[in-house]
């Protein structure tokens, strides 16, 4: 794993950080550049969609 690779743990941690910063309300990932970049990187690395990466970050589950 490289320095800029994003795994599931890092993705969930960044989502949690954005959730805290939003006052524990709805998180719009486009308002948090670090989360947006991590979601894009995760989606590219794992050949999945941005939406699936966001679901994984929110729930911790790959498929619902």
pLDDT digits (tens, 9 = 90+) for 6-21: 899 999 999 999 999 9
| Residue 54 pLDDT grade (very low, low, confident, very high; cuts 50, 70, 90) | very high
| Residue 5 pLDDT grade (very low, low, confident, very high; cuts 50, 70, 90) | confident
Average pLDDT of span 29-36: 95
Asked if 57 and 14 touch (Cβ cutoff 8 Å), the reply is yes
- Return the CA Rg of the chain: 11
Asked if 31 and 4 touch (Cβ cutoff 8 Å), the reply is no
pTM of the model: 0.89
Is the per-residue pLDDT at 49 higher than 70?
Answer: yes
Number of H helices, E strands in the chain: 3, 0
């Amino acid at each position: 794993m490289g320095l800029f690779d994003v795994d599931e743990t890092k993705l969930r941690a960044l989502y949690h950080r954005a959730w805290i910063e939003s006052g524990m309300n709805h998180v719009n990932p486009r308002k948090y550049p670090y989360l947006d970049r991590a979601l894009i990187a995760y989606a590219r690395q794992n050949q999945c969609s941005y939406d699936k990466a966001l679901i994984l970050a929110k729930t911790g589950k790959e498929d619902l």
